[in-house]
Amino acid sequence: MDRRSFLATTAALSATTFLPYAVMADGHAEPFTFDSAGGPIVIKPIDHASFIMQVPGLVVHVDPVGEPSLYADAPTPDVILITHHHGDHFNMETLRGLAGDETTFIVNPTVYDALEEFQSRATVMANGDTGMIGDYPIEAIPAYNLTEERLGYHPQGRDNGYILSIHDKTVYIAGDTEDIPEMRALTGIDIAFLPMNLPYTMDINAAASAVAEFQPTYVFPYHYGESDIDAFTQLVGDNSEVLRGAWYD
């Protein structure tokens, strides 16, 4: 599907559905669509921690991995965001299949070191850095483990989460992290993506506790392995609306 067709489909979807919206078809989720002051934000889950976010004027792929068939109906990304270098978030063969001639990359330093032919198109962001993707501000925030026996998976200072400001909406992509103080201190988050699989990130109790503190309007559990998402939803209660995408682990 080319960009014009994708944008036309997105506009039709946003005009005919209540938001956010998703249905299951052929084993995959149709896009979730959210209103913003500048137009729709469309989020399509792909697999594990991979998803596509289309915002007015820009197509963003987040941590794309997996077979090209997973992305067959998606337009070429303008920007690819990568949180860290682990193989379930970063795969060069997937990137070679997805990237167009004009695709740029936002990556952390360890991914940049392994980005091979795409290095010249990459912007490196470390924790605390700010920048722009298209017309939209982006900030790289920490993503790390707190629990002693998990520190080797995601040490503090290496990996990124990202916060994107899309007109009047703010999107938080946590990456692989536990319920760190930087997450709990967030305010004004409209859409959050939180991992919850052990031993690599956090359990549903820690994730729900963090949600109760920073209270995003909507939260997507992703990178959730065998976690009980029904139980997570009950723990979250009225603190946020839990949305269920078709991330398969």
Residue 177 lies in a domain: yes
The mean-pLDDT minimum among 86-95, 186-195, 238-247 falls in 238-247
Kindly state whether residue 47 falls inside one of the protein's structural domains. Answer: yes
Domain annotation covers residue 165: yes
Residue 247: predicted pLDDT: 56
Distance from C-alpha of 4 to C-alpha of 16, rounded to nearest angstrom? 19
Q: Once rounded to an integer, what is the mean pLDDT over residues 202-217?
A: 97
Lowest mean pLDDT of 49-63, 111-125, 232-246, name the range.
232-246
Q: Per the structure block, which two tokens stand in for 205?
A: 């109790």
Residue 188, in any domain of the structure:
yes
Q: What is the mean pLDDT of the chain?
A: 88
For the segment 192-199, the average pLDDT, to the nearest whole number, is 94
pLDDT of residue 31: 86
Cβ contacts of residue 161 below 8 Å, gap of 6+?
83, 140, 141, 142, 143, 172, 173, 174, 175, 177, 183
Amino acid (1-letter code) at residue 17: T
**How many independent structural domains does the chain possess?**
1
Residue 246 confidence class, pLDDT cut points 50, 70, 90: low
User: CATH number of the domain that 25 lies in?
Assistant: 3.60.15.10
pLDDT of residue 225: 83
Tell me the average pLDDT across 151-176. 97
H-helix or E-strand containing 213?
Answer: helix 204-214
- pLDDT at residue 29, rounded to an integer: 54
pLDDT-derived band at 33, boundaries 50, 70, 90 = very high
The letter for the amino acid at 45 is P
Residue at 244 is within a domain: no
Q: Is the pLDDT of residue 9 over 60?
A: no
Structural domain boundaries, residue 64: 3-232
Residue at 194 is within a domain: yes
Q: What pLDDT does 147 receive?
A: 93
Is residue 243, in this structure, part of any structural domain at all? Answer: no
pTM score, whole prediction: 0.88
Q: 103-132: string of b/e by CB count within 10 Å (b at 16+)?
A: bbbbbbebbbeebeebeeebebbebeeeee
Q: Does residue 237 lie within any of the structural domains?
A: no
